[in-house]
Chain A
Amino acid sequence: MADKVTFELVSPERVLLSVEAEMVVVPGSEGDFAVLAGHQPTISALRPGSIDVYEAGDRISSRIFVAGGLAEVSLDRLTVLAEAAERFESVDRAALGQRIAEATEAIEDAGADEVKRDAAETRLAYLQHIVETNTVN
């Protein structure tokens, strides 16, 4: 058995990232979970949060924000399907406030339309997560 997991982050438009990692921490809807080689096959929904990739050792080699999605773990393989994903380094801090304002407005605009409101709320939660992570680090 290989001691590394193949981690793939796929967006509808293309494969965003494909690396071999020792451990990947994924924000599951029921709580974060870490995927190592030989993990139990799982299909899990994701909540807005960040994926931490540990390529080797204890240091996070890359951190990616996802606005929800789905993760599939099959032997030594982790696939995350995400609609929106951003690398930690590439987030435009200046534009965040503007985006949050837009999302808040969208929630108000949605009114009785549940589908729209849900989408906007997810977006807001995602942005807030980015802000929080930002201040912690």
Chain B
Amino acid sequence: MLQVDRVEVRFGGVQALKGVTLDVPEGAVVGLIGPNGAGKTTLFNVITGLERPSAGRVLLSGEDVTGLAPHLRARKGLGRTFQRIEVFSSLTVHENVLAAAEARRSWSRDDADPGRTASDLLERVGLLEIEHERVDRLPTGLLRLVEVARALASQPRLLLLDEPGSGLDTTESEALGDLLVELVADGSRSILLVEHDVELVMRVSSHLHVLDFGAIIASGAPEQVQQDPAVQAAYLGTSAA
């Protein structure tokens, strides 16, 4: 689905990503963890096209999209949420999702009713009751769910989620986990998940990458990665076990 091939990013003298390579297979949830400042969001920005890499390639379903504008990548089935919330603060919850569904209708041949799609998605993430609230009145945790619903409205084949669980309580976080598993269950969709809630990542991911100081220091099945001494030293510590 997604291949990131030796991507490098420099900000002035700082090398934010040092030859990062990773794969997201179809129908899988792949976790990406690492300490703050490791380069996770930068990698997301490179994949979605908000940041140009100084070297390396990004391939979507085998096609090189490294030079493509963000909105064209979105049309190729790439959706994302943001770590620093990017909701449309002048619109209601429903309108936020609706705008994305309408955008999809305008660039795809899909003529599903956007209003219907938006309400269905909001029901799915559990926000239907507050769909007519303005988003600027909601707490951060719920805004992350608005972003998830909005990203889903574009019907992406690959969904990049940037810390969707932060700000959620235990029950909400569990519900989110269930939703993520459900989303990839039919095999048509993949998810790349950045998350600090280790329990959530461990539960839903089939594969895990650990990013530290701009480089992948470990990859593999969650249990396996958890045992990796380098990872424990860099990030998980002993408390995660």
Report whether chain A binds chain B: no
